[in-house]
Amino acid sequence: MTNRELLESVKNNQLSLEEAEQLLATQVVEDLGYAKLDHNRQDRQGFGEVVFCQGKEDRFLKEIFKRLVQREDKVMGTRASLEQYKFLKEEIKELTYDEVSKIIQYDQTKPSRIGNIIVCTAGTADIPVAEEAAQTAEFFGGKVERVYDVGVAGIHRLFSKLEVIQGGNCIVSVAGMEGALSSVIGGLVDVPVIAVPTSIGYGANFHGLSALLTMINSCSNGIATVNIDNGYGAGYLATQINRLAVNGGIK
């Protein structure tokens, strides 16, 4: 619940002053000992807190989700295993899970999506990271169009989708191997490109390091590079750019 929603609830006699006072006491940070939940992040940054599920103990993860779901209409978890989802689903029936992106969602809203974010991949093997980016952007309210398997090994595939790509407010370019796709796209568009290196590739790819170095050394302008396999970070940044574009009337 945002501060405004809380005040509206008091105004409309849906909450007593005592209940509102109790909520405000934990509105900024709810300390669980093993986790500190940032309930004020939506007001402060425009996006609610997202749970990174990988590596968390089941009992901790369950309590974190329970607390967030009690207060929020939308909750997302990234890097979740199918086993974690099944465990949480026993407690929170409304959860959904996507096995490709490994994203868990709880969404009690009627989503309306704005703008135009293009998510591209060099190859089919890059899709899991791309879907993490795409579904993150959609969760936060962005309209996403996917353009998959348009890598430089068959560059005519990219050119056949060029009009679609050039219509975006920003581009997320996901590539493994040597990571050349982002440089090519960067030279063809007039909007920011968010480059996402993936760990897809043979031995000298060094689990994504070769693609990362290609992307951060790109001579194309307007490219920002996130960490290896960090689809979530790319989707978040794309949403921020997309919101600015929509609010500024760019597209």
- Residues ≥6 apart with Cβ < 8 Å to 28: 38, 39, 40
Kindly report, residue by residue over 156-186, the tens digit of the pLDDT: 999 999 999 999 999 999 999 999 999 999 9
Q: Are residues 97 and 195 in the same domain?
A: no
Q: Are residues 132 and 239 in the same domain?
A: yes
Kindly report, residue by residue over 86-131, the tens digit of the pLDDT: 999 988 889 999 999 999 999 888 878 989 999 999 999 999 999 9
Last residue of some domain: 64, 83, 107? 107
- pLDDT band of 251, cuts 50, 70, 90: very low
Q: Are residues 118 and 215 in the same domain?
A: yes
CA dist 174 → 137, 162, 178, 200, 234 (Å): 14, 16, 11, 10, 9
Kindly report, residue by residue over 133-146, the tens digit of the pLDDT: 999 999 999 999 99
CB 158 within 8 A of CB 150: yes
Q: Are residues 127 and 234 in the same domain?
A: yes
pLDDT number for residue 2: 64
CB 174 within 8 A of CB 121: yes
Reply yes or no on whether the pLDDT at 37 is more than 60: yes
Please compute the mean of the pLDDT values over residues 16-37 and round it to a whole number. 70
Last residue of some domain: 64, 80, 107? 107
Q: Which domain holds residue 185?
A: 114-247
- What's the CATH code of the domain at 187? 3.40.50.1970
pLDDT number for residue 14: 83
Kindly report, residue by residue over 180-224, the tens digit of the pLDDT: 999 999 999 999 999 999 999 999 889 999 999 999 999 899 999
Q: Are residues 59 and 121 in the same domain?
A: no
Q: Are residues 135 and 162 in the same domain?
A: yes
Reply yes or no on whether the pLDDT at 150 is more than 60: yes
Q: Are residues 34 and 121 in the same domain?
A: no
Instruction: Count how many domains the chain has.
Output: 2
The region that residue 177 occupies, defined by phi over 0 for left and psi between -120 and 50 for alpha, beta otherwise, is: left
pLDDT number for residue 163: 92
Q: Are residues 66 and 161 in the same domain?
A: no
CA dist 211 → 57, 116, 224 (Å): 32, 26, 13
CA dist., res. 131 & res. 121, Å (int): 10
pLDDT number for residue 110: 80
